[in-house]
Amino acid sequence: MSLPRYPEYKDSGVEWLGDVPEHWDVKRLKRACHVFPSNVDKKSYDGDTPVLLCNYTDIYYNDTIVADMAFMAATATPEQIEKFTLRGGDTIITKDSETADDIAIAAYVPVGLPGVICGYHLSVVRPTQETDGAFVKRLFDSTYVKSCVAVRANGLTRVGLGQYEIDNLDLPFPPLTEQTQIATFLDQEAAKIDELVAEQRRLMDLLKEKRQAVISHAVTRGLNPDAPMKPSGIEWLGDVPEHWRVGKCGFYISILSGFAFPSMEFSEDETDTKLLRGINVGISRLKWNETVYWRRKPGDGLHVYEMQAGDLVIGMDRPLINDGMRVAKVKETDLPCLLLQRVASLKTGSQLNADYLLGLLSSGMFVAHFSPETTGVSVPHISPEQIGNFVIPVPPVAEQKAIVEFVSTESLNFDTLTAEAQHAIDLLQERRTALISAAVTGQIDIRNSHDH
């Protein structure tokens, strides 16, 4: 879509804003809207009126605030209910957060929501009669306002935007009818872009499912579609190639549970040895973003817990299943590290390829094996015995290696397609932000956009 610029412009008087259309005004937010921070916290107090609370995450993850959302139950005083009940036309913004990027994230309230109150860490931006609230919401979505806010936010451990800073944001405002035109245009265009983004996300989900299906089929059925099959004797495994063996995992591997290192003696000195904790076991890889260390002593007897490149490690606590099993292969770059409790290391013998086992443990089959008997209540976990009792199909070693190579190639193909979909999403979201920014600052004239 190619949209023209306005016929005439003038200097806005604001350095970052530059020129604006001749007939637009530049005014401070407090001249166009009433802005007030909420003081309603999440606690419920005896004697106060039960209400529903619109919280920080409701604003952060939604463009609009509507009645069917899952609001938190809370209480409020009559004065708070009078002041902070969400009205049609309100824009709610985040006023403090961990980083400046997350400040002044905005959501719009299309229609009033009696009984729903704006919560703490948020401010209500309520338009006057000369201002269209939907246009104000789009102003907050623009790169211009995001840049202004990032400069004005202050704080160290938590960044905040003070009342004065919000009130005195210099913003461009066209006449009211034009504000409404721009808001309507942007709603329509943003909806189109959002649907394209949703299509790409659905594609990514399908790729993930297909990838899992391809891996599961390869490690349980092999690569020869014409191979004679036999019953495995295991319900969730089904038939396997006739020449494969089927046996308990424990017969082919040695399992070691981690050592109970006392947490009060953890070190933060990076010259000490890393401790491999459950939190470090991701899906197919180790993550060292939250690392603790252990100071070794001569003759400490911990050599048995020293990991080797090629070892498999599995997190034995929940969350066990999110995007897949938390099982990974230790690489040279992960060393040296020591195995902590609630993580098990698995060393394969000569009859089992470690990468083939990794494929089996990453599949839905292992989840099907342990889920019915997962022990523990508040923190369910799996035991070394459950890992050892996991029945696996065992092809000849050469065939295991061929399956691993096939899975590796297929995974690369899926990674490429997934990366392409993510790139498309990034471009669409950039386009969305650029279009909003151009429209609300008058860099494009959308008044006759239906003609284009």
Find the largest Cα–Cα distance for the chain.
82
pLDDT of residue 449: 75
pLDDT of residue 316: 81
pLDDT of residue 377: 47
pLDDT of residue 101: 76
pTM of the model: 0.81
pLDDT of residue 37: 93
pLDDT of residue 440: 97
Mean pLDDT per segment of 10 residues, for the chain of length 452 residues? 90 93 96 94 88 94 95 93 96 84 91 94 95 97 91 73 90 97 96 97 95 90 95 88 94 93 90 92 84 92 94 77 70 94 92 92 72 55 83 95 96 96 97 96 89 51
pLDDT of residue 129: 94
Q: What Rg do the C-alpha atoms of the chain give, in angstroms?
A: 29
Residue 216 tokens, joined = 């599961």
Domains, the chain, ranges and CATH? 25-173 (3.90.220.20), 223-394 (3.90.220.20)
